[in-house]
Amino acid sequence: MAENQKKRLFSGIQPTGNLHLGNYLGAVKNWIEMQDGYDAIFCIVDAHAITVPQEPGVLRDNIHDLARLLLASGIDPDKSTLFVQSDVSGHSELAWILNTVARMGDMEKMTQFKDKSAKDGSERSSVGLFGYPILMAADILLYDAYIVPVGDDQRQHIELTRTLARRFNKRFATDGFVVPKGEIREEGMRIMGLDDPTKKMSKSASSEYNYIALSDGADVIRKKIMKAVTDSEPTITYSDDRPAVKNLITIYSLLSKKSVGDIVEQYDGKGFGDFKKDLAEVVVDFILPLQERIANVSDQEIEDVLSQGTESAGRAADIKMREIKKVMGLGS
Ligand code: ATP
Ligand code: LTN
């Protein structure tokens, strides 16, 4: 690789609807910040979404809503490639090949399948859900991605991707796959539920007071922040043994760009009434303009960006698939 060439970055996000502040701060914000330093490819992973049942019309809307949000948030199609996974057939084709490289022993260790299948029982879970990490490995290896920014929950999937790349390269005496590196965000980037600071903010939480949806209006946001749990101490301090307060200060800091130290100092001698009122305005001042930008992204723009993204990702994927099939002796 030439000295001045940017390294390839790949990341994906599922179009599963109802995005919240945790998704934004934990994933989207990072992507925006990284697109300048890397040759970035961002993928809306609809083929991953169907590992659990999806309503077709809802899935389609979620894919477009996510594209709209990513563009409104600052993914710049002049700098990055944005596309929908199922528009490039190389993902499922390579996933099949990697299915023959992965061993049952690799897969039986995967904790996310155990967690996700626990609800309905593994007998009723799809084989696709079991193979989810293999499709994720295919996403990454198809583009020679060197760096993969993900949340802490994806650490095991990145390890599997590295294992499959190395095993394939060794078996076929090739350097066909780049062994990628995960860029795992530190624990602090995990935004916790407003009603329960021991669990992450989640769209599948039982109470809507758990999360701030990116679609919430100003009054709903204010109400949710005012109701957010704190603890029995009246002061505003930042420490691990005060997870609820730590979480609120983290949100404040990430959205206002003020340091944690400055925020703590600002509220020295003040109570939660003042703090929460200001935090609510910080959140409103972030979300309302974002909603306005979302409303201004046209359907045409989405169509243009995604079709351009499909074309450029598709070209790279075709080249890689030809190379991989050749070393394996596949095809006519
Ligand atoms: P949910 O529990 O809301 O369904 P999820 O982890 O299934 O959350 P995904 O759509 O899979 O959500 O995740 C999209 C991205 O958002 C991932 O990179 C994930 O790590 C990140 N993310 C999700 N929830 C949080 C959170 N509370 N804090 C920080 N990042 C988060
Ligand atoms: N499994 C990831 C989403 C995802 C992904 C990827 C992330 C699918 N394919 C490739 C990085 C690279 C998640 O649930 N956050």
Q: What is the pTM of this model?
A: 0.93
| The pLDDT value given to residue 120 | 81
Q: Which ligand is nearest to the CA of 30?
A: 1
pLDDT tens-digit map of 66-103: 999 999 999 999 999 999 999 999 999 999 999 999 99
Domain ranges of the chain: 8-189+299-328, 208-294
pLDDT tens-digit map of 223-266: 999 999 999 999 999 999 999 999 999 999 999 999 999 999 99
Homologous superfamily of 208-294 in CATH? Tyrosyl-Transfer RNA Synthetase (1.10.240.10)
**Separation of alpha carbons 244 and 210, rounded Å:** 12
- Confidence tier at 203 by pLDDT (50, 70, 90): confident
User: Per-residue pLDDT for 1 more than 60?
Assistant: no
- Confidence tier at 180 by pLDDT (50, 70, 90): very high
- Confidence tier at 204 by pLDDT (50, 70, 90): confident
The β-bridge relationship of strands 39-44 and 81-84 is parallel
**Separation of alpha carbons 29 and 26, rounded Å:** 7
Q: Is 154 in the pocket of ligand 2 (CB under 6 A)?
A: yes
| Ligand 1 centre distance from Cα of residue 33 (Å) | 18
| The pLDDT value given to residue 187 | 52
| The pLDDT value given to residue 309 | 98
The highest-level CATH class for domain 8-189+299-328 is alpha beta
Give catalytic residues, as residue numbers: 116, 200, 203
pLDDT tens-digit map of 8-49: 999 999 999 889 999 999 889 999 999 999 999 999 999 999
| Ligand 1 centre distance from Cα of residue 270 (Å) | 33
Average pLDDT for 290-305: 98
| Ligand 2 centre distance from Cα of residue 13 (Å) | 6
User: Per-residue pLDDT for 282 more than 60?
Assistant: yes
The per-residue pLDDT of the chain, averaged, comes to: 95
DSSP, residue by residue, 37-104? TSEEEEEE-HHHHTTS---HHHHHHHHHHHHHHHHHHT--TTTSEEEEGGGSTHHHHHHHHHHTTS-H
